[in-house]
Chains A and B, each alone.
Chain A
Amino acid sequence: MPSRLDDRLAAARAEGRAALVGYLPAGYPTVDGAIAAMRAMVAAGVDVVEVGLPYSDPTMDGPVIQQAADAALRGGLTTRDVLRTVEAVADTGAPTLVMTYWNPIEQHGVAAFAADLAAAGGAGTITPDLPPEEAAPWLEAAAAHGLDPVFVVAPSSSTERLRRVADITGGFVYAASLMGVTGARSQVGTQAEGLVARVRAVTSLPVAVGLGVGTAAQAAQVAAFADGVIVGSALVRVLLDAQRRGEGPEVALAGIGALAADLAQGVRGAQANVPVTA
Chain B
Amino acid sequence: MSTRTAVPAASADAAGAAPSLLTGVQAAAGWQAFPDASGHFGKFGGRFVPEALMAALDGLTEAYAQARVDDAFIAELDDLLASYAGRPTPLTDARRLTEHVGGARILLKREDLAHTGSHKINNVLGQVLLTKRMGKSRVIAETGAGQHGVATATACALLGLDCVVYMGEEDTRRQALNVARMRMLGAEVVPVTSGSRTLKDAINEALRDWVATVEDTHYCIGSVMGPHPFPMLVRDFQRVIGVEARAQVLERTGRLPNVVVACVGGGSNAMGIFHPFIPDTEVALIGCEAGGDGVATGRHAAAIAGGAPGVLHGMRTYLLQDEWGQTQVSHSISAGLDYPGIGPEHALLHETGRATYRVVDDTAAMEALALVARTEGILVAIESAHAFAAAIEVARELGPEATLLINCSGRGDKDVDTAARWFGLLDEPADADPAGTAAAAGTAEGGGQR
Contacts and interface: CB of A to CB of B under 8 A. Distances in A.
Interface of A: 55-60, 62-63, 66, 70, 73, 78-79, 102-108, 128-131, 133-134, 151-158, 161, 165, 176, 178-181
Contacts of B204: 57-59
A79 B324 contact: yes
Contact of A179 (B214, B312, B324): B214
B54 A161 contact: yes
Contacts of A158: 55
A165 B325 CA distance: 25
Interface stretch (B2-10, B45-53, B258-266, B284-292): B45-53
A152 B51 contact: yes
Interface string B50-62: 1111111000000
Contact of A78 (B46, B54, B324): B324
B136 interface: no
A157 B194 contact: no
28 contacts: A57-B204, A59-B204, A60-B211, A63-B194, A78-B324, A104-B324, A104-B326, A105-B325, A106-B310, A106-B311, A106-B325, A107-B323, A107-B324, A108-B325, A128-B50, A128-B51, A131-B48, A151-B51, A153-B51, A154-B50, A156-B51, A156-B55, A156-B214, A161-B54, A179-B215, A180-B52, A180-B211, A181-B211
B214 A157 contact: no
B299 interface: no
B51 A56 contact: no
Contacts of B47: 131, 133-134
A247 to B, nearest CB: 25
B450 interface: no
A157 B54 contact: yes
A12 to B, nearest CB: 25
A45 B310 CA distance: 38
Given A156-B214, A158-B55, A56 B326 contact: yes
A153 to B, nearest CB: 6
B217 to A, nearest CB: 11
Chain B contact-residue range equals 35 or more
Contact of A157 (B55, B211, B319, B327): B55
Contacts of A152: 50-51
Nearest to B38: A133
B212 A154 contact: no
A63 B52 CA distance: 19
Nearest to B46: A134
A175 to B, nearest CB: 10
Nearest to B323: A107
Contacts of A157: 51-52, 54-55
B325 A62 contact: no
Nearest to B322: A107
A181 B48 contact: no
B50 A60 contact: yes
A63 B53 CA distance: 20
Interface in B173-200: 194-195, 200
Interface in B413-432: none
Contacts of A56: 195, 326-327
B20 interface: no
Contact of A133 (B46, B194, B215): B46
B207 interface: yes
Nearest to B310: A103
Interface in B319-349: 319, 321, 323-327
Nearest to B311: A103
A57 B207 CA distance: 11
A130 B327 CA distance: 17
